[in-house]
Chain A
């Protein structure tokens, strides 16, 4: 599973890139009862402006946390290979048509954050 830049120039530019863009992403689609299938699709990657600022009143820190996430999504369905007879081979995943710096919406998105 990983994001790919295109060529050496892309890699260099990515170190300086700010904003949020559609970027190629490869992952292994798999579910119990079928073989896995490598899929290359469009996902989102970038660096959005975030900040924390001390303020005089509680909670004493004001923060702005927008992250690079899907703006317009298209669901794509593929057929996984070698599924057992009782298993539906259909596998549906989300492809990004457009990305933006926005709130991570917990109703549609698994929001994970790490230190």
Chain B
């Protein structure tokens, strides 16, 4: 996994799910996150931006962030002691990644 290179890539991690605090039933699954390095820059704002912000926004930042562009649900089976059963738990995993809009309102 080329996590340290430019771009936005799938990155595996282990998810452990417990049925309760004591962890009576538990299951582990490998899910994927998106991790990477997308381009961003910051430069002096245009005069129209300066005017519109009452001369407070003197820097403009233009950015893209590594985001999950396609996801999927996967079922994780929980193993319980003494033959008990627990329903499967659905978790999300990334299927594809892309440098795209930074979605947080404040990023």
What separation, in Å, do the CA atoms of A96 and B61 have in the docked complex?
A: 12
| B92 / chain A contacts, CB cutoff of 8 Å | 54, 60-61
How many chain B residues touch A (CB < 8 A): the figure is: 51
Given contacts A67-B102, A109-B42, contact A51 B60 (CB under 8 A): no
Interface size class of A (residues with CB under 8 A): 35 or more
Asked whether any CB of chain A lies closer than 8 Å to the CB of B28, the reply is no
What separation, in Å, do the CA atoms of A44 and B34 have in the docked complex?
A: 25
Q: In the complex the two chains form, is A41's CB within 8 Å of B6's CB?
A: no
Would you mind naming 15 contact pairs between A and B with Cβ atoms under 8 Å apart? Answer: A16-B6, A20-B40, A29-B44, A43-B44, A44-B43, A46-B40, A50-B66, A52-B68, A54-B92, A65-B102, A65-B103, A65-B107, A104-B102, A104-B107, A111-B107
Which residues of B are interface residues toward A (Cβ below 8 A)? 4-6, 8, 11, 13, 15, 17, 31, 33-45, 47, 49, 53, 56-68, 71, 91-94, 97, 100-104, 106-107
